Every structure is written in C-alpha cells, then in structure tokens.
Amino acid sequence: MDDREIATRDGSGRGGFADRLGEIGRRGLLSLVRGLIQAVLALGVTLPLTIVTALSIAFIPLGVGIVLAPVFLTALRGVANQQRIWAEEWFGVRIPVPYRARPEKMGPFRRLGWLVSDPATWRDLLWCLLNVPLGFGLGLAAVVVLVYGLEGVFVAPWLAGVTDYGWGPFWMIGDYGVFGIVGTVVLAAALTVVSVPIASGLLRGHALFSQSLLAPTRTALTERVEHLAETRSDAVDVSAAELRRIERDLHDGAQARLVALSMNIGLAEEMMKHDPETAQKLLAEARSASGEALTELRGLVRGIHPPVLAERGLDGAVQALALSLPLPIDVRTDIPGRLQAPVESAAYFAVAEILANVVKHSQAQRAWIQAEHAGGRLQVIVGDDGIGGADPANGSGMRGIERRLAAFDGTMAVTSPQGGPTVVTMELPCALSSPKTLPSSGTA
C-alpha cells in the first residue's frame, strides 16, 4: 500500500513537474509580451502625453489650457488607471485609485480646479515623466537579453567565417575555434533561459514603481478617513433621531390608545350587569379604538421597514409604492437577486422621498423609475415631466437622502432646470445575494 502510494505520488510529481515547466514557459512568454507592451507604451504614449499635458498646463494663463488641460489630464488618468489594473492583474500589486470625489455640478472652471487641485494629478504627471525611461528600460531589457541569447544559439555559430554580418556578431566566435562556438551556444542558451525570470522580475519592479506614485498618499487616506468619520456620525445621528421618533410615536400613539382601550373594556365589564346598553356602546368604542391603534401601528411599521420591502425586495416595494401614488409611474427594474438589507432600505426610502416631492411640488403628469444593478453598483433614476426647479440645497428631505446614501458611499445627482424635467440619479455600491427561491414552489 505504501509502495503504491509512493508510486502514485511520484507519477503525479512528474506530471506536476512537466506542468510546472510549461507554466513557467507560458508565464515567461507572457512577461516578455507584457514587457514589450510597456516599452511601446512608454515611448508611444507616456512620452507625448507628458509633453502635451505639461504644455497645456503651462498654457492655462493664456486660456487655451483651460480647455486642453482637462482633456489631457483625463487621458492621463485613463493611462494611470490602466497601469493600476495591470499591476493588480499581473502581479497582485494593489494600487487603489486616489482621486478626489467628482463634484456634482461641473462647469469648465470647476472641472479644471477639481483636476489641478488634486495632488494625485501631479503625482500622475511625475509618474508619466519617469515612466518614459523606466517603462522603456524595464519593459525592453528582458526582451533584449532574450534576443541576444537567441542570436547566440541560432545565428552566431553559423557566422564564424562570415565577416559582413550586419553590425557584426556580438559573440566572440571567430577567435577561439570550436571552443568559441560551444562556449557561445552554452552561454547564449543560459541567457535565453534566464531572460524569462528576469522579464517577470523587472516588470514586477515596474509595478512597484507605479505603486509608489499612483497609489493614494497618506493625505488621501486621511481625507478618506475624515469622510468616513463624518458620514458615520451622520448615520448614527440619523438612526438615533429615527429611534427617538419611533419611541415618541409609540408612546403617544398606540400605547396611549391601548390604555384607553383596556379602560373601556374594564368599564364595560363592570356595566355588563346593570347597564348592558352602555356596556355595548363602550365595547363598540373599544373596537373602533383598537382599529385606530392598528392603523397607527401599521403606519409606524411602514416607516420603519415596509412589509412589502421585506417580502418582495426593492423591486416589488418600488412597484407597490408607484401603484399607491396618484399619478402614472412607469417602473423598470433589473435587479437579479436581493440587495443587502440596509442598502435596500436606504434606496427604498430615498425613492419614496423623491416621489413624495414629485407628488407635492412638481405638478408632473407622469413619472418614471429605473433601477438596475450592474458591476457591483445599484443605480436608481427617478424622473418626472413636471415644472423642474428642484434644488437639493433647499429641501431638507433631499439633504436627508444625501446623508442616508453617504453612509453607504452612495451619491445623488439632481438635474432640474426651470420648466423641467427633473431627473434624480442615485448610485450605491453594493453586493447582490443570489436570487431568492421559495422552497414551497419547488416541491409541491
């Protein structure tokens, strides 16, 4: 049994070795191709991009730069983002995107200010400049070693007697006869083999160089921490206020009604014997009081977490909401699964608040909702054909939505020119759980 085990292990070991060799070869080849890409990119893209970007920034005082600089800086961000993706894909070197959040409304000047005031922009530019020699050198070095090695193995030995070979053979072939040829082939073969790990090592070095300049600096992290601390304290405030409101509603509403109810029932009990007529009236009163208490509790539950949201998710809850409002609302959703519960709830209440505004202020004849989940983000768009002129800075409701969404790193953008239409776009990063299935429907 032991023998067999060892034999099996040996066999698999050999297979594994061949596999591993193949894998190393494949990866080596990949590294060489990637090195070539980096070298071409360094000279063909980052060199001209450095020059035109620097020039466009220099021309900002002349006015031309105001238009051109944002174009080139955006292109630069594109190149830098590609490097960030490659560093992670090729070597697992994670380079987070360091740019400041995009402002909501952007005129050309704000756009320029947003780009130029971000330290990450200048680090991008420095990277772009240094990448010209580094990207070219680190990318091409291994390819040069490989080509040199291949030349030594396959070309040089045949040229011992030839004198007019291009720039001449780089290997010392002619001077040492057969030993020279053998030595050349062995050395060149070694170089060829070594070029593979070199390629990978140098490219990794390039990725680390990119990381040193393209990753967020400490200040960017500090800014992020500040943003998180702020949104967290907002979220805590909002939920504490919610709890206080619920407590007050229960205390003054349903709880008080139940007290009156039990009092009425107790009184009716007393009256039953000698004044059945009054007792009956008290009981009828008690029944209507219980109905009111239930209606109130139902309203409260809706405000905390609408039952239809628990039952059908955002999809069904938004449809139910749309049906309950006095104007036709076209609902389109594409959410293949259930959202995380807190995100679902935040998105639902945001939509509810926006629709309440539509009903109250917009004078719209129709509205529409579009909700979809793609690429790890939920996007909800609510639009109406009303009079427009909605300003998130004015309404406390809109500010509330923004704060609620900010707790999930979500954003809201409002476009509402005078005369309409109003379109509110919300985005929330969130994961999706697998589509829900009902155990009953499958088995029955």
Partner 1 sequence: MRVVIAEDLALLRDGLIRLLQAFEFEVVEAVDNGPSLVRALASHRPDVAVVDVRLPPTFTDEGLKAALEARKENPGLPVLVLSQHVEQLYARELLSDSSGGIGYLLKDRVSDVGQFVEAVRRVAGGGTALDPDVVAQLLTRHSREEPLQALTAREREVLGLMAEGRSNAAIAAALFVTEKAISKHTNNIFGKLGLPPSEDDNRRVLAVLAYLGG
Tokens representing 134 are 């580094």
Please identify, using beta-carbon distances, which residue of 29 and 301 lies nearer to partner 1.
301
| Residues 313-352 interacting with partner 1 (rule: CB under 8 A) | 316, 319-320, 323-327
294 touches partner 1 (CB under 8 A): yes
Tokens representing 101 are 């959040």
Q: Which stretch binds partner 1 (CB under 8 A): 47-55, 62-70, 215-223, 310-318?
A: 310-318
Choose which of 301, 304, 341, 374 interacts with partner 1 (CB under 8 A).
Answer: 301
443 touches partner 1 (CB under 8 A): yes
305 touches partner 1 (CB under 8 A): no
Please identify, using beta-carbon distances, which residue of 75 and 325 lies nearer to partner 1.
325
Q: Of the candidates 115, 39, 95, which has an alpha carbon nearest to the alpha carbon of residue 212?
A: 95
d(CA 220, CA 121): 12
d(CA 321, CA 309): 10
Q: CB 231 → partner 1: shortest distance, Å? A: 31
Q: For strand 411-415 and strand 432-433, is the pairing parallel, antiparallel, or unpaired?
A: unpaired
The neighbouring-strand residues paired with 424 are 382, 414
Please identify, using beta-carbon distances, which residue of 151 and 384 lies nearer to partner 1.
384
Q: CB 61 → partner 1: shortest distance, Å? A: 58
Residue 338, SS3? strand
Q: At a CB cut-off of 8 Å and minimum separation 6, what does 244 contact? A: none
Please identify, using beta-carbon distances, which residue of 340 and 415 lies nearer to partner 1.
340
Q: How many positions of this chain bind partner 1 (CB under 8 A)?
A: 29
Q: CB 291 → partner 1: shortest distance, Å? A: 6
Q: Which stretch binds partner 1 (CB under 8 A): 148-156, 243-251, 288-296, 340-348?
A: 288-296
- Concatenating the DSSP letter of every residue in 180-215 gives HHHHHHHHHHHHHHHHHHHHHHHHHHHHHHHHHHHS
435 touches partner 1 (CB under 8 A): no
d(CA 274, CA 259): 24
Look up residue 289 and give its amino acid: A
Residue 98, SS3? coil
Q: Which stretch binds partner 1 (CB under 8 A): 21-29, 148-156, 220-228, 303-311?
A: 303-311
Binding residues for partner 1, rule: CB under 8 A, are 287, 290-291, 294-295, 298, 301-302, 306-308, 310-312, 316, 319-320, 323-327, 436, 438-441, 443-444
